[in-house]
Amino acid sequence: MRTLPVLYQDEGLVVVNKPAGLLVHRSPIDRQETEIALQIVRDQLGQWVYPLHRLDKATSGALMFALDRESARALTRAFTEAQVSKGYLAVVRGFIGDAGRIDHPLKEGPDGPEKQCVTEYRRLATVELPQPVGPYATARYSLVSAAPLTGRMHQIRRHMKHVFHPIVGDTTYGDGKQNELFRRTFNCSRLLLHAFKLDFVHPVTGRQLSIQAPLDRSFEALLQALQWDTVALAPPVKV
């Protein structure tokens, strides 16, 4: 039976480290997928679990489930009211600014209304590779810590595209030439976006929790190849 690494667990909730390529719950788009995180964690713990938030299939990292209805209600309210701080790590094209706030509304679905959408970010490191990509003689990249202050679908991916710094490995909103360079040079074809941290107040005990999700081997290997492996994962940014 497949299991997922447990980062934190108590009577009311569990946080696991979801690998890239795994759906959180069933999707009409990915009908062929036979494994989903919800079912894996349910079978792993031997009890029903309640999903509280989403991670894209291609995104890895910290994923929280409630273990009873009361905790599910309290934690859902905490996510809805932005009382859970989420920190992501991403590799983006180009040299992004030191820090910034992207305040750009996004639609939920092609026909849905635009909704307020805010992401804050901080640049952790940069690298310039002596490889031509498109019209450029070299390839530049930034390692970014990002904190979504709202919870729209594909928010960080769409916001980074909006500011012309798409996430490497993003086949929907990214740059195909950059993605090909990473596949060819680093044997890396995954989306370079990882949910590395959840900060929140426990709804029952009142304790402040900060739960971190370690990077997988492929992401770690890439950071080593780019000489970013000594860069500490930063907390969710406030700029």
Instruction: Name the nearest CA neighbour of 123 among 152, 91, 76, 83.
Output: 91
Q: Identity (one letter) of the amino acid at 187?
A: N
Q: Is 199 a catalytic residue?
A: no
Q: Identity (one letter) of the amino acid at 61?
A: G
The structure tokens 């190849």 sit at 225
Are the beta carbons of 119 and 159 closer than 8 angstroms?
yes
Distance of alpha carbon 16 from alpha carbon 13, whole angstroms: 10
The structure tokens 């890396």 sit at 188
| Marked catalytic residue, from 10, 43, 56, 199 | 56
For the chain, the farthest-separated pair of C-alpha atoms sits apart, in whole angstroms, at 57
Write out the catalytic residue numbers.
Answer: 56
